[in-house]
A and B are shown apart, each in its own frame.
Chain A
């Protein structure tokens, strides 16, 4: 399986995402925002960072990048798309996911190992988790407050499209502690926390067993691989 990771001007976590893809057992394909070429990849990751310096709005300018036209078409065909942090912001700006992300309610950038509950384990990116799995992966953002109209929130909650929810504390003022959501089909997932930073022992969050041994994020990437292998 080939998973593309799109690099935008100002992307920070593209290399980490590529590495996570490789550790999951798939081939990572570096894609460039300024082209219209998805190079035939089977899934797409929009990585974190500060594309275009967060100018205009986080993810707004990137959502109009040349390659995003192809990403939107691919998403509509059912190709798995994962937006992490700035990538999640791009997905909302591109209208592939509803709602929006605004500045953290406390006004500060936040960086911490964050507990999450995986509430939907049937999406393309979470099918490897047990039902209601509780996981810990890094969270780092300044504008991670998820907001949407009351109708949209009711729809997301009613259809089980809240994929991950913050546990223990709400780090940014997100409505209903929402950390990540999916589209109706479940192939497009966006979340503020960073699964790609918790994929290898020695470099992840602390766990009860050992410092920096958390690898809960890897399952997002192996889930995509499992879903792909089931179709071939």
Chain B
């Protein structure tokens, strides 16, 4: 997600559109990214540690963004997901 203290023009534009559609109860909209990473085999601590490292070093830029969560989701295929 963009850092809370930074202006998020994309979120602001979406918020403006919602207000024009009559959805004025939302006082703020912020917009981030979600990455879905898929691995073959089990998701163990080593995989999660690697994902955390990638999330910090490549998938996000800590100057402008925060990693807000890393979750394992069991779907048809096992997938490890990181949101930035």
A-side interface residues toward B, CB under 8 Å?
56-57, 60, 64, 92-93, 98-100, 102-107, 145, 147-149, 173
Contacts and interface: CB of A to CB of B under 8 A. Distances in A.
Contacts of A57: 61, 64
Interface stretch (B9-17, B36-44, B72-80): B9-17
Interface centre among B2, B12, B58 (most CB of A within 10 A): B58
A102 B2 contact: yes
A173 B61 contact: no
21 contacts: A56-B58, A57-B61, A57-B64, A64-B58, A93-B61, A98-B63, A99-B63, A100-B63, A102-B2, A102-B6, A102-B7, A103-B9, A103-B10, A104-B9, A106-B9, A107-B10, A107-B13, A147-B63, A147-B64, A148-B63, A149-B63
Contacts, number: 36
Contacts of A105: 7, 9
Interface string B19-61: 0000000000000000000000000000000000000001101
Interface residues of B, number: 13
Interface of B: 2, 6-10, 12-13, 58-59, 61, 63-64
A220 to B, nearest CB: 25
A82 to B, nearest CB: 21
Contacts of B6: 102, 147
A87 B23 CA distance: 40
Contacts of B63: 92, 98-100, 147-149
